[in-house]
């Protein structure tokens, strides 16, 4: 069972101390109201997908602050990808601000989030610069552990939110629904997990649902099904049946997700197709309602394979 904690501060705690070999990330995703745009942003301290951190740990170089990055993915007509890894001297943390290189995330006094981006894309060096504002519909303070030993934790800070995107490069402006969370742990992700899939769905009226399915390396699997009401209260419900989704078209990454019995999910579009990770928009059916969800699948066995580690530096330059 997952363990939840309460009476935690509302702040995302950007000043979190990450232990040696550990990690933390703050994650935002959003889809535009018109269905034409999407984005994902992940701020990493101790980047769990860094090939440099992966190799460094095997040589005793265990400082997570020496492996930080701001991963920005833009979807739609003006697609972009950035994930430049930076050293500790390019990182600044306070309770309400996290700066990584030229980009920053700020938690404001009105409990909103502002992201100032100034990154260069790869493999084509196109600039991504501008501002994103995220306004939570409510703030969740519960923390869930994903492993029996409590070494890997997850807090869905804003399961339901609104976003305003105002970018100069590329020139994009849109509004939509969004999500904001934090994951952090005391050991490498691949030490504890084999595979996971996760999805979050807007349910209408500021309600949302999150599904988390985790295959743990040395323990039974974990399945979470959470329904967040408009007032922020949480109902845990029985996880729906698991369904296979089609593998991704390029790298044949396996995908699965949960949906009500008799109504299997389907892929609307594949946003990211990588050797070990996929991000998609899917249609599903939860709690008797049709929903559109942002969905992710992650294979940690693929990630730690030699052939994937060889490929990763081409998408993740290090400054």
Residue 10 is assigned to a structural domain of this protein:
no
pLDDT for 7: 43
**Residue 9 — very low, low, confident or very high, per pLDDT cuts 50/70/90?**
low
CA 307 centroid distance within chain: 24
14-30 confidence digits (pLDDT tens)? 999 999 999 999 999 99
The tokens for 87 are 């050293």
pLDDT for 5: 42
Residues with Cβ < 8 Å from 239, sequence gap 6 or more? 211, 213, 223, 224, 225, 258
Residue 158 is assigned to a structural domain of this protein:
yes
Residue 13 is assigned to a structural domain of this protein:
no
Residue 7 is assigned to a structural domain of this protein:
no
- 35 phi and psi, to 5 degrees? 75, 10
pLDDT for 4: 40
106-162 confidence digits (pLDDT tens)? 999 999 999 999 999 998 899 999 999 999 999 999 999 999 999 999 999 999 999
Residue 209 sits in a domain whose CATH number is 2.40.370.10
178, pLDDT greater than 70: yes
pLDDT for 1: 31
Mean pLDDT of 292-296: 98
Determine the Cα–Cα distance for residues 129 and 147; give it in Å rounded to an integer.
37
249, pLDDT greater than 60: yes
Q: What domain range is 146 assigned to?
A: 19-314
**Residue 10 — very low, low, confident or very high, per pLDDT cuts 50/70/90?**
confident
Count of the separate structural domains present in the chain: 1
Residue 4 is assigned to a structural domain of this protein:
no
Residue 121 is assigned to a structural domain of this protein:
yes
Mean pLDDT across the chain: 95
The tokens for 211 are 């599904």
Name the percent of the chain lying above pLDDT 70.
Answer: 97
Q: Is 108 left (phi over 0), alpha (psi -120 to 50) or beta?
A: beta
Determine the Cα–Cα distance for residues 134 and 166; give it in Å rounded to an integer.
12
Lowest-confidence range among 2-16, 204-218, 300-314?
A: 2-16
Residue 50 is assigned to a structural domain of this protein:
yes
Q: Under DSSP, is residue 116 helix (H, G, I), strand (E, B) or coil?
A: strand
CB-CB contact of 161 with 136 (8 Å)? yes
CA-closest candidate to residue 196, choices 144, 237, 236: 144
173, pLDDT greater than 50: yes
pLDDT for 319: 87
Tally: H helices and E strands in the chain: 4, 23
pLDDT for 287: 97
Q: Under DSSP, is residue 51 helix (H, G, I), strand (E, B) or coil?
A: helix
179-201 confidence digits (pLDDT tens)? 999 999 999 999 999 999 999 99
Residue 8 is assigned to a structural domain of this protein:
no
Determine the Cα–Cα distance for residues 232 and 288; give it in Å rounded to an integer.
20
pLDDT for 148: 92
């Amino acid at each position: 069972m997952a363990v939840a904690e309460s009476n935690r501060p509302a702040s995302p705690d950007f000043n979190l101390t990450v232990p040696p070999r550990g990690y933390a990330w703050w994650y935002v995703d959003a889809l535009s109201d018109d269905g034409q745009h999407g984005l994902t942003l992940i701020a990493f301290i101790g980047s769990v997908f860094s090939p440099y951190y992966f190799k460094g740990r095997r040589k005793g170089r265990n400082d997570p602050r020496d492996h930080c990055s701001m991963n920005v993915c833009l979807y739609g007509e003006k697609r972009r990808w950035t994930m430049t890894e930076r050293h500790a001297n390019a990182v600044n943390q306070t309770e309400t601000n996290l700066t990584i290189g030229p980009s920053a995330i700020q938690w404001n006094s009105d409990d909103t989030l502002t992201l100032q981006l100034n990154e260069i894309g790869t493999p084509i060096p196109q600039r991504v610069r501008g501002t994103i504002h995220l306004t939570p519909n409510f703030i969740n303070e519960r923390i869930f552990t994903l492993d029996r030993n409590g070494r890997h934790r997850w807090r869905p800070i804003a399961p339901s939110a609104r976003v305003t995107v105002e970018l100069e490069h590329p020139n994009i402006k849109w509004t939509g629904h969004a999500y904001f969370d934090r994951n952090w742990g005391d050991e490498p992700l691949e030490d504890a997990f084999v595979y996971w899939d996760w999805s979050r769905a807007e349910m209408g009226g500021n309600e949302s649902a999150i599904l988390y399915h985790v295959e743990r390396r040395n323990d039974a699997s974990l399945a979470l099904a959470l329904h967040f009401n408009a007032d922020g209260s949480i109902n845990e419900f029985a996880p729906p049946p698991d369904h296979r989704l089609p593998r991704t078209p390029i790298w044949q990454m396996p995908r699965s997700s949960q949906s009500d019995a008799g109504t299997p999910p389907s892929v609307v579009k594949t946003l990211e197709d990588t050797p070990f990770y996929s991000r998609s928009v899917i249609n599903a059916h939860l709690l008797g309602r049709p929903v559109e969800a942002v969905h992710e699948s992650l294979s940690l066995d693929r990630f730690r394979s030699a052939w994937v580690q060889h490929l990763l530096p081409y998408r993740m330059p290090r400054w």
